[in-house]
Structure 1
Amino acid sequence: MSPKVTQAYKEEKKAIILEGALHCFTEKGFQATTMDDIVRHLGISKGAIYSYFTSKEEMYIQMADDKMNAMLEDTTELFKSMPSAADQIRYMYSRFRGQSLTELRKWMAFHLEFMLYAARQPQLTLRWNEYADKALVFIKGIMDGGKQTGEFRADLDCAAASRLFWSIRDGLALQYMLSGEEADYKRTIDDMENMVFRYIMG
């Protein structure tokens, strides 16, 4: 009789596989990486990987979703002691400032390649949108709260403000994708924060 596999063991195994896949994706790129690359890097059988993930696309979605969920969980808990919507938005900018350009470039290259790949595949586009919508809904919740308390302007379109928030952030990341200095990047985040606050406070 084979030993019972616990849920904790399964989660640990999945995490190990995802960490190995991430290493391969960031080293070779998403499209160039094959399942054989991941197998070689991890030193486990292809069957063992397929028992947890059906494809490298599923691995990517899981990675991105895990990262998003962890950020939302941690931040939502922190916000319980930070009732001001303005302070919550400022905290998000402090997170951006805390991310180095090196880390940003690694993740942006990873995300951009997958987004271009997924754009030609409706099922992957749907999965990506489910992931991305979590970020939009999260910021919209902050905007809604600030509008209700009077911190933000009464005529604020919170859905549009949420999309603007992320669009400016993503646009800045693209601007610094291949060139630019850390100090300039941080100063530009400051300018971006001031610009967004002028918009939401009116």
Structure 2
Amino acid sequence: MSPRLTEERKEERGQQILDAAKRVFARKGYGAATLKDIIEETGMSRGWIYLYYQTKEEIFEAVLDQMDMDYEQSLEHLKAETSTIWQMIETLFARQQQELEQAEGGLMSAFYEYFLVGWRYPDRREVLTRRYERGIERFAQILQTGVSRGEFVPAMPVQDISRLVASFQEGIVAHTHAVGATKANTALQLKSLLRYLGSLLQRPEEEAL
């Protein structure tokens, strides 16, 4: 077996572990899932898993990292497919609404369980802080692109707008997972947030109408 093939096989097994972990976390949540569950889901031996990860927490954080990379790629594709940044933002909100209305449990619930229950642990808090800041910066960059293109004349710094939107979104998502999309009226909340965001961005074409 060539070194190149060995490396490819290693990557395949690593992906199999993450795919299995996603299924386990989506099905059982973070707290109830065990490393044994993930090992059984992969169909691999415990020794193989330990070549990649030592703990359930390491696996979960690797899943989050992969989700982040996938999201970054989807943003790049969406930016290329949409004619304006505002259209891109509208599409992101529509996708989020669809995901929340279809979700019951799933990885997002495991995500909230991991951080909201474990915020007292310094390592988890560090991961959450890092992800939070990265998310704020990511959306601020999208908004800044709209400013650079002349689409937006923001009422405040785009970083502040990004933090506001993140806070509102987190509340909407948390309530949706707690009581369901119908009781939380998720569609109305996201629509209202989008309207509020538009007012903060003071879109010139809106003023011209």
Q: Same fold (TM over 0.5)?
A: yes
Alpha carbons of structure 1 residues 105 and 186: separation in structure 2 relative to 1, 3 Å: farther
Give CA-to-partner distance per residue, 1:141-168, whole Å, 9 cap, x none.
0111223333222542111111122221
TM-score in terms of structure 1 length: 0.85
**Cα distance in 2 between the residues matched to 1:119 and 1:145:** 33
Note closer, same or farther for the CA distance 1:102–1:89 as it changes in structure 2 (3 Å cut): closer
TM-score, scaled relative to structure 2: 0.82
Alpha-carbon distance in structure 1 between the residues aligned to 2:105 and 2:69: 21
Partner of 2:38: 38
Query: What's the offset of the Cα at 1:105?
Result: 4.2
- Matched residue SS, 1:151: coil
Taking the TM superposition and a 5 Å limit, the aligned residue runs for 1:161-200 are: 161-177=161-177, 178-181=179-182, 184-200=185-201
Instruction: State the Cα RMSD in Å.
Output: 2.5
Judged with a 3 Å threshold, the aligned counterparts in structure 2 of structure 1 residues 185 and 127 are, in CA distance, closer, same or farther, namely closer
Q: One-letter code of the match for 1:53?
A: Y
Q: Which amino acid aligns with 2:97?
A: R
SS of equivalent to 2:103: helix
Q: Is 59-68 or 148-157 further displaced after alignment? A: 148-157
1:119 counterpart residue number: 119
Distance in 2 (CA, whole Å) between partners of 1:15 and 1:192 is 36
Cα distance in 1, alignment partners of residues 104 and 159 from structure 2: 25
Instruction: Find the aligned partners of 2:104 and 2:72 in 1 and give their Cα distance.
Output: 18
Report what 1:95 is aligned to.
95
Q: Which range is displaced more, 176-185 or 132-141? A: 176-185
Q: How far off its partner does 1:191 sit?
A: 2.0
Distance in 1, matches of 2:158 and 2:106, equals 31
Unpaired runs of at least 5, structure 1: none
C-alpha deviation, 1:192, in angstroms: 1.9
Tell me if structure 2 keeps the 8 A contact 1:104–1:173: no
Q: Residues of 2 paired with 1:3 and 1:115: CA distance?
A: 42
SS at match of 1:75: helix
Moved more, 88-97 or 77-86: 77-86
Q: Match for residue 202 of structure 2?
A: 201
The answer to whether residue 11 in structure 2 is matched with residue 29 in structure 1 is no
Q: 1:109 to 1:138 in 2, by over 3 A?
A: same
Shift in alpha-carbon separation, 1:81–1:36, aligned structure 2, 3 A: closer
Please say if residues 100 and 181 of structure 2, whose CA atoms lie closer than 8 Å, have aligned partners that are also in contact: no
| Larger helix percent | 2
Gaps of 5+ in 2: 204-209
Kindly provide the amino acid, as one letter, of the partner of residue 91 in structure 1.
T
- Contact persistence 1:35–1:46 (CA under 8 A): no
Q: Percent identity?
A: 21
Cα distance in 2 between the residues matched to 1:168 and 1:70: 23
Secondary structure in 1 matching 2:32:
coil
Contact 2:30/2:111 (CA < 8 Å) preserved in 1? no
How far apart, CA to CA, are the structure 2 residues paired with 1:54 and 1:132?
Answer: 25
Return closer, same or farther for 1:133/1:158 CA change in 2, 3 Å cut-off: same
Alignment check: 8 A CA contact 2:176 2:184 kept: no
